[in-house]
Chains A and B, each alone.
Chain A
Amino acid sequence: MLKISLFAGLAERTGKREVDIPIEQPVTVNELRTTLSRQFPEAGDAFHTSMVAVNQEYAGEDDRIVPSDEVAFIPPLSGG
């Protein structure tokens, strides 16, 4: 089971701060975007316009994710 954290507008639109996805094989960041977009159509394209962090580092589209990874979707930032 892969645990995914959601924040800010993405958490609000999906109504969830954490989502569990059953995976056994590694998935790419891009595949994960597609899976979550389908699961939460109410989020529009937000899963595609967010950054993805794997183990607290920004990840590239082809990076592979395994179930033990800590994954988070990072909407456009507005700190400061």
Chain B
Amino acid sequence: MKRYAITTAEIDLNQLVEQVKNPYAGAVCTFIGTVREMTRGKRTLYLEYEAYVEMAERKLEQVGQEIQQKYERAEVAIVHRIGRLEIEDAAVAIAVATPHRPEAFAACRYAIDRIKEIVPIWKKEHWEDGSFWVGDQLETTPYLEGKPNV
């Protein structure tokens, strides 16, 4: 299994942990991003994720490499799921192993923040009264300098 993957299959967190754990590690920190039903009082029925798959996997790998440059002996695995996802499904999972826990927590957080910034993946919200590509039009966070900070 690839360390940095886009998949249509259900995410198995244990597989990610298996990929990163190693004898130098004293900590493995994991993060799972899940499909939320209620957002500011509005009910989501399901989400649809789409990716520019090849580039997305390369950019996930870039996130991992950035972490390895920041934190010595860090091992990283990231999987993002695409397609139709139901409430409570895992959309993204990250596992980071480092020698000590502060670096594992920090790196895990860095990974999810960076994914949102540079990895070409989009989600479409489906509500009872319509649907909407997040990032499109008004709810978007516009790029301040014309492009993400790559």
Binding site for B on A (CB under 8 A): 5, 7-9, 12, 46, 49, 51, 53, 56-58, 60-61, 72, 74-80
Contact = CB atoms under 8 A, between A and B. Distances in A.
Given A8-B50, A9-B136, A51-B148, A79 B115 contact: yes
Contact of A7 (B50, B119, B140): B50
B147 A76 contact: no
Contacts of B150: 57-58
Q: How large is the interface on B (under 10, 10 to 19, 20 to 34, 35 or more residues)?
A: 35 or more
Contact of B133 (A9, A60, A61, A80): A9
Contacts of B122: 7-9, 75, 77-79
Given A49-B142, A78-B133, A58 B116 contact: no
Contacts, number: 89
Interface of B: 33, 49-52, 54-56, 58, 80, 91-92, 112, 115-124, 133-137, 140-143, 146-148, 150
Given A7-B52, A9-B136, A79 B148 contact: no
Nearest to A11: B50
A58 B33 contact: no
Contact of A53 (B51, B55, B141, B142): B55
Contacts of B117: 77
B133 A79 contact: no
B146 A61 contact: yes
Contacts of A61: 146
